[in-house]
Structure 1
């Protein structure tokens, strides 16, 4: 049975790629074939091979299915700004259709375990009134939520989970990633998240000196993923 999930977060820069790469590594260790995509990325670096994004490269490195960079990250933009603004600057129409096709091509590879990583949070804008969440909705992907643990994260996590469920998608699981090591009452915050989020917690990531996929995967439990598909 193939499984595919959309990875989103409570905000930008809260560890979506770190978690996604760790989950992919765990799947590989379990003997599963893996594929991934980050369909749109800004803040890319111009190389001899074209624009490249560190997050997309990290995901590509954990794929056992042979994929070209352009398949993993079909829309890459250089400015480190919101993707819809970066796309507008270079005259690209960033709509659902532009992203749905390339993501579907990755899903059609039929890997045992596939992750599609979003950009920023659940309501990142695309062209017009569309948002990146509309891509996950169109493809009917269960969602994994990465919660950046810091002051205010409970509200952000609950609102994001609420939006995901209201959009008709299942919340397959969530991961707590410690963003602010100075947060007060850490255990109480984690307990509140566990009590109120309507999905299993796949793991808690402390601040790691080694945040490689191999190290991160030891903190994650794929067996807890709820996949209704």
Structure 2
């Protein structure tokens, strides 16, 4: 069985899927078989094959294993709102144990590198007493943190890293993703995060309107994620 990582973000809209696709591409460029799971996704569109999410479709495009959509995104919700609210509206219950079962199936499918992408931030609720952060805990997977580089990112990154450690999981690495153009004092913010986050920086993703994950893969160093 290969290496599996949970990809978390400091917030929503920080480029988790974009960075995950780039990490998958970097793995493929290194000769690895790759796979990914987006356990829960809201904001899905109706298709002839059912509800499909553009983030999950991007992961399917970037990974090398051929898996059915439902295995990559077992919980697809239509409204583009918080997953637990979307699930209530759809009359569905989000189950960590079922998500874990799907993830284990992908983890055992033969890939060298498996990424499980979260939704929103670390403490995204799934129900009254459950959170998506319980999934990597149940699977005991290290975490890759995508930091959206914008005002407030240092506080968000440090608090998320603290929560990950309190949950008993290692922070395997982090990616600085510039989600906006012209961030003030970008280098100083980056240096502060490098000094304070207890994990290797896997890459700095510059802002680009084109958002080509294949090009971004060139900015990433996945060596810390692989066996020595």
For normalisation by structure 2, the TM-score amounts to 0.96
Residue of structure 1 in register with 2:88 after alignment: 88
Structure 2 unmatched runs, 5+? none
1:67-82 paired onto structure 2 within 5 Å: 67-82=67-82
Q: CA deviation at 1:227?
A: 6.9
Q: Deviations over 1:22-72 (max 9, x none)?
A: 000010011100110001000000011111101000001122212001100
Q: CA deviation at 1:110?
A: 3.0
> 1:121 aligns to what SS in structure 2?
coil
Question: How many Å separate the matches in 2 of 1:191 and 1:47?
Answer: 45
Q: CA deviation at 1:125?
A: 0.1
Residue of structure 2 in register with 1:2 after alignment: 2
Contact 1:173 1:226 in 2 (8 A): no
Structure 1 unmatched runs, 5+? none
Residue of structure 2 in register with 1:40 after alignment: 40
* Count of residue pairs brought into register by the alignment: 228
For normalisation by structure 1, the TM-score amounts to 0.96
Question: How many Å separate the matches in 1 of 2:171 and 2:77?
Answer: 29
Residue of structure 2 in register with 1:170 after alignment: 170
Residue of structure 1 in register with 2:24 after alignment: 24
> 1:18 aligns to what SS in structure 2?
helix
Q: CA deviation at 1:183?
A: 2.3
> 1:51 aligns to what SS in structure 2?
strand
Residues 14 and 227 (structure 1), Cα distance of their counterparts in 2 relative to 1, 3 Å cut: farther
Deviates more, 1:218-227 or 1:167-176: 218-227
The answer on 1:131 being equivalent to 2:151 is no
Residue of structure 2 in register with 1:65 after alignment: 65
Residues 227 and 160 (structure 1), Cα distance of their counterparts in 2 relative to 1, 3 Å cut: farther
Question: How many Å separate the matches in 1 of 2:44 and 2:221?
Answer: 31
Question: How many Å separate the matches in 1 of 2:184 and 2:227?
Answer: 33
Residues 226 and 130 (structure 1), Cα distance of their counterparts in 2 relative to 1, 3 Å cut: farther
Residues 97 and 41 (structure 1), Cα distance of their counterparts in 2 relative to 1, 3 Å cut: same
Question: How many Å separate the matches in 2 of 1:152 and 1:214?
Answer: 28
